[in-house]
């Protein structure tokens, strides 16, 4: 388990502003070397308020890198509300990464959250990309994300019932 930083981190990697009328094309930015050893990097697609929670999960020893180290495992975290306008951009970013473990972080990313009936909100990013782990909650707990990352690094399936994996609640 990584150590929580206990404050707002500056670890968000790619920002896509969900409220914009025009999609913000993501630019290459550093990825989070979660354990500081090049074994696993996290790309956080920060869409809305869940991104605050995901930033809290970043361990104190994490580093920023300009690219994915060779051989590193990749975890992509979609944090927050995704609109139908931005969903293709999110999918394109994920498609450009090597074999990522995709995490839908928060009820919005899992199934639309409190905006599930809004015409413009994607009812779950799994409509666009395969999702490996669902972390429900509004907001979801940062600790749950840290546990997912730890499990992926250890080659375990992060599937604690009701919290990680399976059907979003």
How far apart, in Å, are the Cα atoms of 93 and each of 21, 37, 45, 116, 158?
Answer: 19, 24, 9, 23, 23
Phi and psi torsions of 33, nearest 5°: -80, 90
Binders of ligand SF4: how many residues, by CB under 6 A? 12
Interface mask (CB under 6 A) for ligand SF4, residues 3-42, using x and -?
A: ----------------------------------------
Minimum Å gap between C-beta 17 and ligand SF4 is 13
Minimum Å gap between C-beta 63 and ligand SF4 is 26
Q: Which residues 49-108 are close enough to bind ligand SF4 by CB under 6 A?
A: 49-50, 80-81, 106-108
Considering the rule CB under 6 A, would residue 133 count as an interface residue with ligand SF4? no
Verify cis geometry, omega within 30 degrees of 0, for the bond prior to 46.
no
What is the DSSP track for 29-85?
--EEETTSSSSEEEEEEE-STHHHHHHHTSBTT-EEESSPPTT-EEEEEEES--BTT
By CB under 6 A, name the one of 2, 139, 165, 168 that touches ligand SF4: 139
Minimum Å gap between C-beta 48 and ligand SF4 is 4
Report the alpha-carbon distance of residue 105 to residue 13 in Å, rounded: 15
Considering the rule CB under 6 A, would residue 138 count as an interface residue with ligand SF4? yes
Of 58, 59, 75, 51, nearest to 140 (Cα)? 51
CB 12 within 8 A of CB 51: yes
Closer by beta carbon to ligand SF4, 47 or else 129: 47
Minimum Å gap between C-beta 111 and ligand SF4 is 9
Instruction: Note the residues at the interface with ligand SF4 (CB under 6 A).
Output: 48-50, 80-81, 106-108, 113-114, 138-139
């Amino acid at each position: 388990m990584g150590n929580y930083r206990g404050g707002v981190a500056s670890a968000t990697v790619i920002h896509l502003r969900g409220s914009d009328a025009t999609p913000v094309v993501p630019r290459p930015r550093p990825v989070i070397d979660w354990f500081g050893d090049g074994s696993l990097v996290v790309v956080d697609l920060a869409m809305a308020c869940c991104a605050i929670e995901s930033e809290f999960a970043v361990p104190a020893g994490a580093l920023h890198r300009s690219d994915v180290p060779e051989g590193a495992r990749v975890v992509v975290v979609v944090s927050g509300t995704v609109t139908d306008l931005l969903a293709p951009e999110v999918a394109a970013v994920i498609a450009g990464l090597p074999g990522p473990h995709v995490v839908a972080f928060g009820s919005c990313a899992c199934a639309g959250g409190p905006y599930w009936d809004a015409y413009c909100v994607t009812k779950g990013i799994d409509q666009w990309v395969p999702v490996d782990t669902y972390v429900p909650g509004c907001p979801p707990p940062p600790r749950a994300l840290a546990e997912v990352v730890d499990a992926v690094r250890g080659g375990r399936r992060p599937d604690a019932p009701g919290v990680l994996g399976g059907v979003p609640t």
